Amino acid sequence: MYPACSSDREKTCFRSYTGNRMAQRKRRTGGRVTPKGTKPGHLHETHRLDHADPKSMHGTTVADASSRYTPPVAREVKVSPQWVPVLMFVLLGVGALVILFYYLGFVPGGRNNWYLFAGLASVLGGLFTATKYH
């Protein structure tokens, strides 16, 4: 079968030929991460950060969490005037109509790109006004 092997020792010769090429076993992943004998909330003897204060972490004391949430006090309630939503809808509507009339050919003075610019500026002005509405 193989030129270096004799027929009577074929099995041992095959093992020596393929013995170095076998795949190695994979390492097992997982398992214990913390030292054996640790309990939640307690320090293990191998934990050398600070044995005097069990609430200490890396030399700085951790503050206790508050059991009650206090929301921030509102300085003022923002209310927009009535003209803000009116201006928003007017700008959006006029801009959309100008662009529509441009494409339909109903604009005075013929088709001019300034009509598209004015319509787009009006729509963007309406969107900007919408972001300021409270």
Q: Is residue 122 domain-resident?
A: yes
Q: Is residue 52 domain-resident?
A: no
| Contact yes or no for 53/62 (Cβ under 8 A) | no
| Count of CB atoms situated within 10 Å of the CB of 21 | 6
Q: Is residue 88 domain-resident?
A: yes
**Positions in the chain whose pLDDT score sits under 70:** 1-21, 42-67
Q: What percentage of the chain reaches a pLDDT higher than 90?
A: 38
Q: Is residue 62 domain-resident?
A: no
Q: Is residue 21 domain-resident?
A: no
Digit-coded pLDDT (tens) for 28-64:
777 777 777 777 776 666 555 555 555 555 555 555 6
Nearest partner of 133 among 73, 97, 91, judged by Cα: 91
Structural domain total, the chain: 1
Q: Is residue 100 domain-resident?
A: yes
